[in-house]
Chain A
Amino acid sequence: MTSLFSKFDGTASALGALVQAGGRNPFAVVIEKPISSTVGVIEGRETLLFGTNNYLGLSQSERAIKAAQDAVGKYGVGTTGSRIANGTQSLHRQLEQRIAAYFGRRDAMVFSTGYQANLGMISTLVGKDDYLILDADSHASIYDGSRLSPAQVIRFRHNDAEDLHKRLKRLDGTPGAKLIVVEGIYSMTGNVAPIAEMAAVKRETGAYLLVDEAHSFGVMGEKGLGVAEEAGVEADVDFVVGTFSKSLGTVGGYCVSDHPELEMVRLNCRPYMFTASLPPEVIAATMAALEDMQEHPELRTHLMANAAHLHAGFHRIGLNASRQVSPVIAVTLESLEQAIPMWNRLLDLGVYVNLSLPPATPDHRPLLRCSVMATHTPAQIDQAIEIFRQAGLEAGAIAEPAAL
């Protein structure tokens, strides 16, 4: 009889090889205790955190912690229901109104995770005769949304507005609405979308535009609204999707829009309707973190200064790091034989980053993915660069000793 689990044989042997090569399971790292937003205890040692997406350090916000504690006392620990049944409390609507107001949009929908926000919006907005036009390097939540939708799905080359234009032109004369989906900052590589060019294509072709600002919210633009704000094309964006689990340090997802039909999306969106809503303490903490972010624009300037610091350091020591400066900085390695020992050595020496392996990476090459925080100190960044230099030399990722 066929084993139900034989399909995992490939994963099992790949994982076995990873553990054999490096001594650890890179997907089973446990952060035993956070000491601060930038330091956690891993394997009993204080470790610098450079892979948590906690861009503004707000997971440890005192105001958010206090708000969560108060909300638990007042409302209890959970809603035990879906948003369209018993799972909407006054806090949920308050958060939606605040997020919408912060974006200057008509309304917002709050989802239980960022993944579900993409899954829900993408699968619900497009119908059978419609077209979804996706960036080829889209996040899994976007691809999964496309699989849940009955629409026809077309990929265009990553960050290539000309290719997007060409593929939309091919659809000239076909019935059905077209929805373009792009991300602000791509989570694996830190690449920033050329959103002004994408918006121009959208205007010319009459398509709709959804931008996932998960990694750019709190990071780019004067108010921290993301790449569309930074590029001055917010008016061209029909739907902004995002998450609370990066810059705001909690969990949950949202979509903001000026289209009044968002109200109807609520009643057609399965990943919104058929799951329990966020617990009150998370909602309260998220609103508090949003206040922190609004009141402290210097967090963003620190973040970008820190990103530039780490980015310059990586290039100075000769690592093949992202070209653009953004809080996501990926070091591309040539092979698993390089990546596995280097990632393990970094952790031995006290730096945690994400190990990203193909096929979750573009170009079939492994990445050491770093995310920078506003709360990293210059000394912590220098220490991380020095540890990368040491581990990089040992792994052969840096050709020859480079002077710091």
Chain B
Amino acid sequence: MSETVESVSALIIQKLLANPKVPRDIDGNCKIMEDLAFDSLAVMNFVMEVEDTLDVSVPLDKLADIRTINDLATCIVDLKNKG
């Protein structure tokens, strides 16, 4: 396993774009709740999908500090490296 923040961020964006309601021009700096109009439940459910793809669990308490797609990618890479 050698995910980088860039590769995880790209994967998250790809997953987000599968949802037709998500704006087409998103990038790693987009804020997940504000820019994508996700409520807290939608964020948690989306993170669950990413967790399954990357075989990692992101504790909910960590989600509180995550605002952008890149924040989420960084957090996941940290978690993977720790494991």
Q: Which residues of B contact A146 (CB under 8 A)?
A: 60
Option from B39, B42, B44 in Cβ contact (under 8 Å) with A155: B44
The B interface is mostly helix, strand or loop, or mixed, namely helix
Asked whether A136 and B48 contact (CB < 8 A) given A170-B55, A170-B56, A359-B41, the answer is yes
Shortest Cβ distance from B77 into chain A, in angstroms? 16
Docked CA distance A154–B63 (Å): 11
Q: Which residues of B contact A171 (CB under 8 A)?
A: 57
Docked CA distance A131–B83 (Å): 15
Q: Which residues of B contact A131 (CB under 8 A)?
A: 59
Q: Say yes or no: is B45 at the interface (Cβ < 8 Å to chain A).
A: yes
Contact with A along B39-83 (1 / 0, CB 8 A): 111101100100000011101111000000000000000000001
Q: Which residues of B contact A105 (CB under 8 A)?
A: none
Shortest Cβ distance from A58 into chain B, in angstroms? 34
> 5 other contacts beyond A152-B61, A155-B48, with CB at 8 A cut-off?
A152-B59, A167-B57, A170-B55, A170-B83, A358-B41
Option from A155, A359, A364 in Cβ contact (under 8 Å) with B60: A155
Docked CA distance A146–B59 (Å): 11
Contact with B along A169-196 (1 / 0, CB 8 A): 0110000000000000000000000000
Interface size on A, residues (CB 8 A): 15
Interface size on B, residues (CB 8 A): 15
Shortest Cβ distance from B16 into chain A, in angstroms? 17
**What residue in chain A is nearest B83 (Cβ atoms)?**
A170
Docked CA distance A322–B4 (Å): 43
B57 touches A154 (CB 8 A): yes
Q: Say yes or no: is A233 at the interface (Cβ < 8 Å to chain B).
A: no
Q: Say yes or no: is A15 at the interface (Cβ < 8 Å to chain B).
A: no
Q: Which residues of B contact A155 (CB under 8 A)?
A: 44, 48, 60
Option from B40, B57, B59, B61 in Cβ contact (under 8 Å) with A359: B40
A26-80 with Cβ < 8 A to chain B? none
Option from B39, B48, B56, B59 in Cβ contact (under 8 Å) with A157: B48
B60 touches A153 (CB 8 A): yes
Docked CA distance A155–B44 (Å): 8
Contact with B along A116-153 (1 / 0, CB 8 A): 00000000000000010000100000000010000111
Q: Which residues of B contact A170 (CB under 8 A)?
A: 55-57, 83
Rank and list the top 7 A-B pairs by shortest CB-CB distance, nearest first.
A152-B59, A153-B60, A359-B41, A154-B57, A170-B57, A359-B39, A153-B59
A-B contact pairs, 28 of them (CB 8 A): A131-B59, A136-B44, A136-B45, A136-B48, A146-B60, A151-B61, A152-B61, A153-B59, A153-B60, A153-B61, A154-B57, A154-B59, A154-B60, A155-B44, A155-B60, A157-B48, A167-B57, A170-B55, A170-B56, A170-B57, A170-B83, A171-B57, A358-B41, A359-B39, A359-B40, A359-B41, A359-B42, A364-B42
Shortest Cβ distance from A265 into chain B, in angstroms? 22
Q: Which residues of A contact B42 (CB under 8 A)?
A: 359, 364
Docked CA distance A152–B56 (Å): 14
Docked CA distance A155–B59 (Å): 8
Docked CA distance A153–B44 (Å): 12
**What residue in chain A is nearest B44 (Cβ atoms)?**
A155
Q: Which residues of B contact A364 (CB under 8 A)?
A: 41-42
Docked CA distance A151–B45 (Å): 20
Docked CA distance A136–B61 (Å): 15
**What residue in chain B is nearest A174 (Cβ atoms)?**
B83
Q: Which residues of A contact B62 (CB under 8 A)?
A: 152
Docked CA distance A364–B39 (Å): 10
**What residue in chain A is nearest B60 (Cβ atoms)?**
A153
Docked CA distance A204–B62 (Å): 27
